[in-house]
Amino acid sequence: MRHSIKLALLGTAFGLVAATGAQAETLRLLTWGSYAPEELIAKFEKENPDITVEVTFSNNEEMIAKLRATGGSGYDLAQPSHDRIFAAQQEYNIYKPLDLSKIDTSVMSKNLLEGVKANTTIDGEVYAVPHQWGTSGIMTNMKEAPDVTGWNDLCDPAYKGKTSMRLRRTILLGTAFGMGVNPFDLYGDKAAYQDMLDKVTQKLIECKSNIKTYWTGGDDLSALMLSGEVIVSETWDSTAFKLYAQNPDIVFVPPETGALAWIDTFAIPRGGEADDAAYKWINFVLKPENIKVMSASTGAIAAVPNGIDLLPDDKRAAVQAAFTQKDLDNLKFFANIPAGLEDMEGIALERIKAAQ
């Protein structure tokens, strides 16, 4: 009897140990809104019952701030844009090099993969690969403002009280292009860059009376456009593509100076604790059947050769309505931001925000 009880207790103990060992690992994503649709999370967790996914939605500035504050801990996979990694890594050491042998890079567009690798290679180590890409430019209601061609139209008195923009660095860069200056050409000269920022800041302060409101996210911008409160706005193309299905008068306009092109990436934070799960998620979301779900959620284009074809019908039609081949050839990809420039831009944005 004692022997049986002892065996039973041992069996219970081993069962507890086994249960503890089988406890699900948590994959903590730090990503953009809409980049982790519930449908894909459920499918991933079903295929990987030992992994649960926890999502924190963020943006470029917040991702850097969060990872900087924790020394790269607290998250297992982040999705900064391709131009926001090099300087952040050099300054704050918040990411770890990728093990490319664990990623099926063969499914990625070669030019986007090589571009991101070139932008994010430090001391021979690659820190990111591409996920989705898109552009920033202008959205217009063609019924109300059919003659819009670029950044300068946001400040056109003809649309006074009917325009919008987001007070982030994209509007600084776009306004510079609208003023005939390529800001990326000034990245190596801080004095020249500051001079450009001063001129852009003054223009955007003078433009404040033209602005209905400053938007902060795609949802509030969508509401403004659909209600007609705003008819011209700075935007991500993906937001315009989503609205096209609801109102085909709302279209994305690549500025005549070139739409600003971004590539959102996969990068692993330095203090990440679930690298294998992170690599599984990367490969999972790049499968064609999952790309369709992801792009339906984001409105952006997957970094694969047939990314546009994998968009839902309405968004594919919106892309085709927005871009000619000339527009695609004229894209201005964001360049790596040198250390210190974002602080200068932050001061400029604060000046615009505070101006009466």
The residues spanned by each domain of the chain are 2-133+262-329, 136-261+336-354
Indicate whether this model's pTM tops 0.85: no
For 200-257, how does the pLDDT look when each residue is reduced to its tens digit (9 = 90+)? 999 999 999 999 999 998 899 999 999 999 999 999 999 999 999 899 999 999 999 9
Instruction: Compute the distance between CA of residue 38 and CA of residue 212 in angstroms, rounded to an integer.
Output: 34
Task: Tell the CATH superfamily of the 136-261+336-354 domain.
Answer: Periplasmic binding protein-like II (3.40.190.10)
For 176-211, how does the pLDDT look when each residue is reduced to its tens digit (9 = 90+)? 999 999 999 999 999 999 999 999 999 999 999 999
Radius of gyration for the alpha carbons in the chain, expressed in angstroms and rounded: 23
Residues 6+ apart with CB under 8 A from 15: none
269 in Cβ contact with 78 (< 8 Å): yes
Range list of β-strands (E), the chain: 25-31, 51-57, 77-78, 95-96, 121-122, 125-126, 129-141, 163-165, 211-214, 232-236, 250-253, 260-266, 268-269, 301-302, 332-333
Whether the domain at 2-133+262-329 and the domain at 136-261+336-354 fall into the same CATH topology: yes
Structure tokens at 278: 């992170």
Q: Which amino acid belongs to residue 145? A: A
Instruction: Compute the distance between CA of residue 297 and CA of residue 346 in angstroms, rounded to an integer.
Output: 30
Q: Which CATH architecture has domain 2-133+262-329?
A: 3-Layer(aba) Sandwich (3.40)
The pLDDT of residue 1 is 37
Q: Which amino acid belongs to residue 63? A: M
Question: What does each of the 356 residues of the chain score in pLDDT, given as a tens digit?
Answer: 334 333 343 344 444 444 444 567 999 999 999 999 999 999 999 999 999 999 999 999 999 999 999 999 999 999 999 999 999 999 999 999 999 999 999 999 999 999 999 999 999 999 999 999 999 999 999 999 999 999 999 999 999 999 999 999 999 999 999 999 999 999 999 999 999 999 999 999 999 999 999 999 889 999 999 999 999 999 999 999 999 989 999 999 999 999 999 999 999 999 999 999 999 999 999 999 999 999 999 989 999 998 999 998 988 999 988 999 899 889 999 999 988 898 999 999 999 999 98
Q: Which of 299, 183, 297, 187 is nearest to 235 (CA)?
A: 299
Q: Is 299 left (phi over 0), alpha (psi -120 to 50) or beta?
A: left
Q: Tell the burial category of 329 from Cβ atoms under 10 Å away from its Cβ (0-12, 13-18, 19+).
A: exposed
